[in-house]
């Protein structure tokens, strides 16, 4: 088998040119860890309406390495169980595990500010590639990685062993952390969470930091970095945009069934002050998740081809329905929580403040709540109580 060292060096150069690979130790890790070994038994390529399976045995060595060292996310599992070696041709399904694009992986690891000797807890092992990069620098005994899917965990463990890293691989719910190996200097999550679990804060040393993607939508989510304080709180900010699959125990079930039945009884109807289409933009979508946590933005099309837009919060038995009619839509709301009132108020306040970017969002986490705010306006403040 041909060595992949030239491809590893090429990838490192590409990431350095993008400005996400600046640390010498991390560049050495990228140049040393063979990503292709962490993609077995294969990957799925998105072809629009179907996923095309690619396996090492079903393609040439050159094509396999080209895929492995592309700066792209590669889907490795569909529907919680299906892998590429089980498919004889294109299939449909929902991605449930992947090898995140190396640009994001390198950027997040650099954001951790790791030092030699640090102990790291990784939530979401996935293929194990990012685990290996950290092990290369910190040593295998200083990295603990938790994966909820037993099959994914087993494949990652085998790949790590084959690459020479006998690290601490754990199968379990990463939202609970791993208290047996605590305390940690750093926690990094490769899945999105609705909020930072307090278990992670309890298991992080004072002065240590946690890096995790906040949000429950597939877009409009932010990468939070917080520092743990002596009093058991944590403070920090959103340092940029980020998108990951939702932690499985927090993933919301898709809103299904007859939407007209769900929206039959409205408590109010009025003209919307801003178009719901603003939620197609990243920052307004993030604000919507802060203002109405747990709500889902749902699109539907009638048999006549008319597009319908909704916000649903099943846990709060609430909805907002936007009536067709171009940009100037009317909104019907029902249930105990006026979802669109809350979202609209935040979007308008954000616009009035000059539309600050996602990096201006700050947060403070305690055992009882998450508080988010933007200094530009007192109206841009959201508190999520855990009780």
Provide the token pair at 159.
């790949």
Give the three-class secondary structure for 96. Answer: strand
Give the three-class secondary structure for 80. Answer: coil
Provide the token pair at 165.
């890293």
How far is the C-alpha of 32 from the C-alpha of 1, rounded, in Å?
Answer: 16
How far is the C-alpha of 156 from the C-alpha of 165, rounded, in Å?
Answer: 11
Handedness of CA 190, 69, 36, 34 (dihedral sign): negative
Q: Is the peptide bond before 183 cis (omega within 30 degrees of 0)?
A: yes
**Is there a contact between 246 and 252 (Cβ–Cβ < 8 Å)?**
yes
Going by C-alpha positions, the residue among 210, 264, 214 that lies closest to residue 235 is 210
**Which residues are marked as active site?**
98
List Cα–Cα distances, 74 to 44, 146, 147, 258, 353, in angstroms.
7, 20, 18, 34, 39
């Amino acid at each position: 088998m041909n060595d992949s060292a030239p491809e590893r060096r090429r990838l490192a150069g590409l990431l350095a040119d993008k400005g996400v690979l600046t640390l010498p130790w991390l560049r050495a890790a990228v140049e040393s860890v063979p990503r292709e070994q962490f993609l077995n038994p294969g990957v799925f390529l998105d072809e629009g309406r179907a996923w095309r399976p690619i396996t090492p045995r079903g393609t040439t060595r050159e094509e396999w390495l080209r895929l492995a060292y592309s700066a792209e996310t590669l889907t490795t599992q569909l529907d919680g169980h299906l892998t590429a070696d089980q498919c004889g041709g294109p299939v449909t399904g929902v991605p449930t595990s992947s090898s995140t694009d190396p640009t994001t992986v390198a950027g997040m690891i650099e954001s951790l500010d790791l030092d030699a000797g640090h102990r790291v807890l990784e939530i979401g092992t996935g293929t194990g590639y990012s685990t290996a990069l950290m092990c290369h620098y910190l040593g295998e005994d200083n990295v603990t990685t938790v994966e909820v899917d037993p099959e994914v965990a087993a494949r990652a463990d085998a790949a790590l062993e084959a690459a020479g890293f006998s690290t601490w691989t754990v199968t379990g719910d990463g939202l609970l952390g791993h208290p047996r190996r605590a305390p940690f200097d750093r926690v990094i999550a490769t899945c999105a969470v609705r909020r930072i679990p307090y278990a992670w804060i309890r298991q992080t040393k004072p002065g240590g930091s946690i890096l995790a993607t906040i949000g429950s939508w597939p877009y409009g989510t932010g990468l939070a970095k917080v520092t743990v304080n002596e009093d058991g709180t944590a403070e920090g900010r959103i340092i940029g945009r980020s998108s990951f699959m939702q932690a499985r125990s927090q993933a919301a079930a898709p809103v299904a069934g007859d939407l007209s039945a769900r929206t039959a009884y409205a408590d109010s109807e009025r003209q919307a002050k801003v178009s719901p289409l603003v939620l197609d933009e990243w920052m307004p979508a993030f604000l919507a998740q802060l203002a109405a946590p747990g709500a889902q933005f749902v699109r539907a099309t009638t048999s006549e081809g008319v597009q319908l837009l909704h916000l649903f919060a099943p846990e709060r038995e609430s909805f907002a329905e936007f009536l067709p009619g171009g940009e100037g839509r009317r909104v019907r709301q029902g249930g105990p929580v006026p979802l669109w009132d809350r979202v609209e108020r935040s979007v308008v306040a954000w616009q009035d403040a000059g539309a600050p970017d996602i990096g201006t969002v700050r947060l403070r986490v305690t055992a009882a709540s998450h508080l988010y705010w933007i200094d530009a306006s007192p109206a841009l403040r959201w508190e999520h109580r855990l009780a």
